[in-house]
A and B are shown apart, each in its own frame.
Chain A
Amino acid sequence: MADLSINFAGIKAPNPFWLASAPPTNSGYQIIKAFEAGWGGAVWKTLGLPTINVSSRYGAVNYRDTRMAGFSNIELISDRPLSDNLKEMEEVKKYFPDHAVIASLMVDTREEWIQIINDVQNAGADGIELNFGCPHGMCERGMGSAVGQEPEVLKTIVEWVMDEAKIPVITKLSPNVSHITDPGLAAVQGGSDALSLVNTFKSIVGLDLDAYAPFPVVDGKGTNGGYCGPAIKPIALHMLKELAQHQKINHLPISGIGGIETWKDAAEYILLGATSLQVCTAAMHYGFGIVREMKSGLEKFMDDRGYKTIYDFAGKALPNVTEWKYLNLNYSVKAKINNDKCVGCDLCYIACDDGAHQAIALPKDGSRIPSIIEENCVGCNLCSLVCPIEDCITMVQKDNGKAHITWHERTENNTIPSTFNDDRAGGKGHYVPKPSDALKTSIK
Chain B
Amino acid sequence: MAEYKKPVSEKAFKKNFALKKPLMNDTEAYYESSRCLFCYDAPCIKACPTGIDIPLFIKQIHTKNTEGAAKTIYDSNWLGNACGTVCPTGVLCEGACVYNHQDVQPLQIGRLQHYATTSVIDGSKKLYNVGDLNGLKIAVIGAGPAGIACACEARALGYKVDVFEAKEQPTGLTVHGIAPYKITNEEVLKEFAFLQNQLGFNVKYNNAITSKKKLKDLESKYDAIFIGVGLGKTSVLGIEGENINGVVGAVEFIEELRMKHHLVQVPNKVIVLGGGNTAMDAASEAARMGAHEVTLTYRRSKEEKGAYEFEYDLAKSAGVKGVFNCTPVEIIGKNKVEAVKFVKTQKFEDKLHPVVGTDFIIECDMVIKATGQAKQGHLYELIEKLEIDNKTRIIVNSESFQTSNPKYFAGGDAINGGAEVVNAAYDGKMAAQGIHKWLTK
Contact = CB atoms under 8 A, between A and B. Distances in A.
Contacts of B62: 64
A65 B30 contact: yes
Interface string B332-347: 0000000000000000
Contacts of A345: 37, 39-40, 98
A444 B102 contact: no
Contact of A350 (B40, B98, B100): B40
Given A368-B43, A444-B40, A444-B41, A343 B31 contact: no
A342 B43 CA distance: 14
Which label, helix, strand, loop or mixed, suits the secondary structure of the B interface?
helix
Given A64-B62, A65-B30, A65-B35, A346 B102 contact: no
A342 B62 CA distance: 25
Contacts of B35: 65
Interface string B34-52: 1101111111000000000
Nearest to A354: B40
A103 to B, nearest CB: 42
B74 interface: no
B41 to A, nearest CB: 5
B222 interface: no
A239 to B, nearest CB: 31
A343 B41 contact: no
B102 A389 contact: yes
B99 interface: yes
Contacts of B37: 345, 347, 388
Contacts of A142: none
B39 A347 contact: yes
A227 interface: no
B101 interface: yes
Contacts of B31: 65
A438 to B, nearest CB: 15
A343 B34 contact: no
B38 A347 contact: yes
A346 B96 CA distance: 14
Contacts of A388: 37
B112 to A, nearest CB: 14
Contacts of B38: 347
Given A64-B62, A341-B102, A389-B102, A346 B34 contact: no
Contacts of B99: 343
A349 interface: yes
B30 A346 contact: no
Interface in B2-52: 30-31, 34-35, 37-43
Interface in B92-133: 98-102
Contact of A343 (B30, B40, B98): B98
A344 interface: yes
B43 A344 contact: yes
A347 B55 CA distance: 13
A202 to B, nearest CB: 27
Contacts of B39: 344-347
A88 to B, nearest CB: 38
Interface residues of A, number: 15
Interface in A314-370: 341-347, 349-350, 368
A410 to B, nearest CB: 38
Contacts of A341: 102
Contacts of A350: 40
Interface string A399-439: 00000000000000000000000000000000000000000
Interface in B186-211: none
Nearest to A442: B41
Interface string A287-321: 00000000000000000000000000000000000
Most chain-A CB neighbours within 10 Å: which of B31, B38, B98? Answer: B98
A391 to B, nearest CB: 11
B422 to A, nearest CB: 21
Contacts of B42: 444
Contacts of A389: 102
Most chain-A CB neighbours within 10 Å: which of B31, B34, B62, B100? Answer: B34
Interface in A360-398: 368, 388-389
Contacts of A344: 39, 43, 98, 101
Most chain-B CB neighbours within 10 Å: which of A342, A343, A350, A368? Answer: A343
Contacts of B98: 343-345, 368
B40 A346 contact: yes
A338 to B, nearest CB: 11
Contacts of A349: 40
B47 to A, nearest CB: 12
A345 B98 CA distance: 6
A423 B41 CA distance: 39
Contacts of A368: 43, 98
Contacts of B34: 64-65
A65 B62 CA distance: 9
B109 to A, nearest CB: 15
Contacts of B41: 346, 444
A153 B437 CA distance: 79
Interface in A49-98: 64-65
Nearest to A209: B64
A435 B26 CA distance: 44
B85 to A, nearest CB: 24
Contacts of B100: 343
B410 to A, nearest CB: 31
A390 to B, nearest CB: 9
Most chain-A CB neighbours within 10 Å: which of B30, B40, B98? Answer: B40
A64 B30 CA distance: 9
Most chain-B CB neighbours within 10 Å: which of A345, A346, A368? Answer: A345
A347 B30 contact: no
Nearest to B35: A65
A347 B40 contact: yes
Contacts of B40: 345-347, 349-350, 444
Contacts of B43: 344, 368
A62 to B, nearest CB: 10
Contacts of B102: 341, 343, 389
A269 B206 CA distance: 77
Interface string B302-337: 000000000000000000000000000000000000
A400 B255 CA distance: 73
Counting from the closest, the 5 A-B pairs by CB-CB distance are A65-B34, A343-B101, A346-B40, A343-B98, A350-B40
28 contacts: A64-B34, A64-B62, A65-B31, A65-B34, A65-B35, A341-B102, A342-B101, A343-B99, A343-B102, A344-B39, A344-B43, A344-B98, A344-B101, A345-B37, A345-B39, A345-B40, A345-B98, A346-B40, A346-B41, A347-B38, A347-B39, A347-B40, A349-B40, A350-B40, A368-B43, A389-B102, A444-B40, A444-B41
Given A346-B39, A346-B40, 17 more contacts: A64-B34, A341-B102, A342-B101, A343-B98, A343-B100, A343-B102, A344-B39, A345-B39, A346-B41, A347-B38, A347-B39, A347-B40, A350-B40, A368-B43, A389-B102, A444-B40, A444-B41
